[in-house]
Amino acid sequence: MLKKNYKKQLPLHLMLVPGIILVFIYSYIPMVGSIMAFQKYIPSKGLFHSKWVGLKNFHYLFDMPDFYQVLWNTVFIAVLKIIFGLIVPIAVAILLNEIGKTLVKRWIQTLIYLPHFLSWVILGGVLIDILSPSNGLVNQFLGLFSIKPIFFLGDNNWFPFTIILSDIWKEFGFSTIVYLAALTTINPSLYEAAVIDGANRWKQTWSITLPGILPVIILMATLSLGNVLNAGFDQIFNLYSPLVYESGDILDTLIYRVGLIDAQYGVATALGLFKSLISFALVSISYWLAYKIADYRIF
């Protein structure tokens, strides 16, 4: 019996082998490779012959005046993205739901999902052009109201908000999908009963619509906790310049510059490990909470 069972299971195990090997090489070996955070890593010597330096890379990092600024920028941008990335799609989904199933609704959906599918290289190019202070479309438009040209991508007062706003612009539409799906599960008879009770539209939204999608809102909010250190590398890398390092440099862009431009591999890995460990804790907590609160399971 046991042997027969084994024979039946063997093909299943074999199916996993290629995936296991690839994941081992390209995900687990780099995890082990993080120990170069404790080395003065030199590529020609490799992981086994580079000099061990203990916590020196971390000390170097925490003594860097930029480090705290960068950490703050990261958290600031990421948290604002999380907050508005929740509120805006919820509001738009509720408003869209009011339109009913019409052609107009489908057209609106088609248009607001679109930016999600374009990469930040493309949209970066678009934004650089339309946000230009000399003759970009946005500043020309603001000029109609006698507003002086704003250097959105070169002014430290504006840069973080330009990043947050343009990210919301790209993703809000696509994020409505989850809430629109949740809205369809609300029983229509609830609204009919509310109308008989004399509840107006505003009341209906507060006491039927929002409670109806609250589980999904809580789930999305919980899962987004894991992104507190993800300020959006792709976006910032394609929009920032030395002019705005002060307000726009984030952990991921710093890791890139320290590691791949300056070739300080040990320091960059230390920085990466710092980020990975905190993110790991945050993501684990968020999944655990989502499991406890909403019975959400990854698999």
Interface mask toward another protein for 228-257; x: CB under 8 A: -----xx--xxxxx-x--------x--xx-
Q: Which residues within the stretch 63-82 sit at the binding site for another protein (CB under 8 A)?
A: none
State the nearest-atom distance from the C-beta of 221 to another protein, in Å.
14
Residue 195, token pair as written in the block = 């109308």
3-state secondary structure of 133: coil
Query: Contact region for another protein (CB under 8 A) — 7-15, 51-59, 63-71, 77-85?
Result: 7-15
- Does residue 30 interact with another protein by CB under 8 A? yes
Span of 55-63, 65-73, 78-86, 133-141 interacting with another protein by CB under 8 A: 133-141
Contact between 150 and another protein by CB under 8 A: the answer reads: no
**Cβ at position 180, least distance to another protein in Å:** 9
256 and 237 in contact (C-beta within 8 Å)? yes
**Closest residue by Cα to residue 275 from 257, 292, 250:** 250
Indicate which single residue of 55, 119, 161, 214 sits in contact with another protein (rule: CB under 8 A).
119
Q: Cβ atoms within 10 A of the Cβ of 209, count?
A: 21
Nearest residue to 122 (alpha-carbon basis) of 113, 130, 111: 130
Work out which of 39, 57, 74, 132 binds another protein, going by CB under 8 A.
Answer: 132
In the bound state with another protein, the residue whose beta carbon lies nearer, of 77 and 251, is 251
- Tell me which of 38, 70, 77, 136 binds another protein, using CB under 8 A: 136
Contact between 111 and 234 under an 8 Å Cβ cutoff? The reply is no
The minimum distance between CB 293 and another protein, in angstroms, equals: 16
| Candidate list 2, 48, 65, 134; residue touching another protein; CB under 8 A | 134
211 in contact with another protein (CB under 8 A):
no
Binding-site size for another protein (CB under 8 A) equals 106
Shortest distance in whole angstroms from residue 99 CB to another protein: 7
Q: Which amino acid is at 47?
A: L
| Largest pairwise CA distance in the chain | 84
Which runs of E-coded beta strand occur in the chain? 39-40, 51-52
Instruction: Find the angle CA(75)-CA(80)-CA(83) to the nearest 5 degrees.
Output: 125
> Residue 58 interacts with another protein (CB under 8 A)?
no
Smallest separation, CB 240 to another protein (Å)? 7
How many Cα atoms sit within 13 Å of 71 on the Cβ side?
A: 12
Residue 51, SS3?
Answer: strand
Q: What is the dihedral of CA 139, 144, 145, 149, to 10 degrees?
A: 20
DSSP states along 230-278: ---HHHHHTT--GGGHHHH--HHHHHHIIIIIS--HHHHHHHHHHHHHH
* Candidate residues 178, 221, 225, 278; the one interacting with another protein per rule CB under 8 A: 178
Smallest gap from residue 292 Cβ to another protein (A): 17
Of positions 75, 108, 142, 150, contacts another protein by CB under 8 A: 108
